[in-house]
Homo-oligomer: A and B are copies of this chain.
Amino acid sequence: MTSSSNGSGQSRRAFLKGAAAAVPAAAAVATTAQAEADPLITELQDWASGLGDGVDATPYGLPIQYEGDVIRRNVEWLTADTISSINFTPIHALDGTITPQGCAFERHHSGAIELKKDDYRLMINGLVDQPLVFSYADLERFPRENHVYFCECAANSGMEWAGAQLNGAQYTHGMIHNMEYTGVSLRTLLEEAGLGAAGDLKDKWVYVEGADASSNGRSIPMEKALDDVLVAFKANGEALRKEHGYPVRLVVPGWEGNMWVKWLRRIEVTNQAIESREETSKYTDTLADGTSRKWTWAMDAKSIVTSPSPQMPILHGKGPLVISGLAWSGKGAITRVDVSKDGGKTWETARLAKPGEKMALTRFYLDTTWDGEEMFLQSRAMDETGYVQPTKDELRAVRGENSVYHNNGIQTWWLKADGELENVEIS
């Protein structure tokens, strides 16, 4: 694909055929050429001249060596110690919507613990007719559900409140993953313990608590607990990874990741919110006047262009370009995503790979042409409630600049003429 034969007015097909009919391409990555000119058909490559490698059944199959950089990454300065740390999904390098467990971000507050299934117990206590303790094997005897949901850390994009800081979609938006969960509905287990003792359920809560030393605990209104919360033991078909809460975690669709308690050990039915550390001094939105919003659970509609992006520069020169990204909403299905090339002055509606699904990642594409000029790339998501993803300035106008959590503002990548991209903010 030679850079000399582009033409923004031409169709993609006409463009590529023009290139194919031209002399063999000289640019570094230029390769669409007449078949006769390609060495593939005249020279036998090493990998085609002998036997390849046998495939071991064990250990677990890993990515090929050439993909060794498609991994979770830490930002070492973000937390005080790697024991109390966080890492980031390489969303810039992924496509589709499913996140493999092996590269799905995770956050822990006192390390990832090793809890055997045989040792596992889940207690349901508090305002129930009969306190119960379930083993892992017990949980497997209740009816199961399968659902694909995203899990986003409330602090995802948090560093961007104060302005563009982290240079890559993995770091600005990579505290998210999207997996197919298998588990038992929390409603089923609560009804097993019996909610008669709780009386009117309207003002009741459940307090959910993890088994690690941090005892991460969160209060969830009963209405949500009885709606779509899952006690999950598989993700993408497999057992949960240790760092994702093996053997059992809570799945709270659409709500902030901190509530998806890992190594889930206890669910208490209560008369009121517990107001734990993780829902008071942490994971609350601090406003301009220093006060904080009491509860912000759902993750609002948000989107990000994953490619091109600072970690995924354009190497192929002018001509056909696929702009790809992810969109999601904790309040329902994504209905539309727009992409801007000029920092939000004008917008084009992107193509959704599939119709949006509730509380799950949606992949969008804009099949376009790059004329080699700089762009200010943005995306904005809309969900089934009619909500439109806001700009960062619109968020700041309401919440001030003290916030860290729940930044769903529109992100900008500055695409330069050389194909490199930079995280910038434009007003």
Chain A residues proximal to chain B, CB less than 8 Å: 1, 12-13, 16-17, 20-21, 29, 31-38, 40-41, 45, 47-55, 57-68, 70-74, 81-83, 85, 87, 94-104, 106, 108, 110-117, 119, 121, 123-125, 130-135, 137-138, 140-146, 179-182, 191-192, 194, 211-213, 215, 233-234, 236-239, 241-243, 246, 263, 265, 315-316, 319-322, 324, 351, 353-354, 363, 365, 367
Residues from chain B with Cβ under 8 Å of A215 in the complex: 48
Whether A130 contacts B61 in the complex (CB less than 8 A), given A137-B31, A144-B324, comes out as no
Give the CA-CA distance A52 to B58 in the complex, in Å: 26
Shortest C-beta distance, A182 to chain B (Å), equals: 4
Q: Is the CB of A57 within 8 A of B35?
A: no
Selected from B55, B111, B133, B179, the residue in CB contact (under 8 A) with A35 is B133
Q: Is the CB of A237 within 8 A of B60?
A: no
Residue of B nearest to A73 (CB): B57
Given contacts A47-B114, A51-B83, A141-B321, 12 further A-B contacts (CB under 8 A): A17-B194, A41-B123, A48-B265, A51-B111, A52-B110, A61-B72, A61-B103, A96-B180, A141-B320, A145-B353, A146-B354, A146-B363
Shortest C-beta distance, A391 to chain B (Å), equals: 28
Residues from chain B with Cβ under 8 Å of A124 in the complex: 35
Q: Is the CB of B108 within 8 A of A67?
A: no
Selected from B135, B179, B243, the residue in CB contact (under 8 A) with A61 is B243
13 contacts between A and B (CB under 8 A): A31-B137, A40-B121, A45-B211, A47-B113, A52-B108, A52-B111, A53-B111, A55-B82, A55-B87, A61-B103, A70-B238, A95-B233, A137-B315
Residues from chain B with Cβ under 8 Å of A140 in the complex: 316, 322
Whether A101 contacts B61 in the complex (CB less than 8 A), given A110-B52, A132-B20, comes out as yes
Whether A237 contacts B353 in the complex (CB less than 8 A), given A58-B71, A130-B21, comes out as no
Give the CA-CA distance A1 to B414 in the complex, in Å: 60
Residues from chain B with Cβ under 8 Å of A82 in the complex: 54-55
Q: Is the CB of A212 within 8 A of B48?
A: yes
Q: Is the CB of A48 within 8 A of B113?
A: yes
Whether A64 contacts B114 in the complex (CB less than 8 A), given A55-B108, A144-B322, comes out as yes
> Nearest 6 pairs between A and B by C-beta?
A52-B111, A31-B135, A35-B131, A52-B113, A94-B237, A146-B353
Give the CA-CA distance A124 to B63 in the complex, in Å: 28
Shortest C-beta distance, A407 to chain B (Å), equals: 23
Give the CA-CA distance A321 to B144 in the complex, in Å: 11
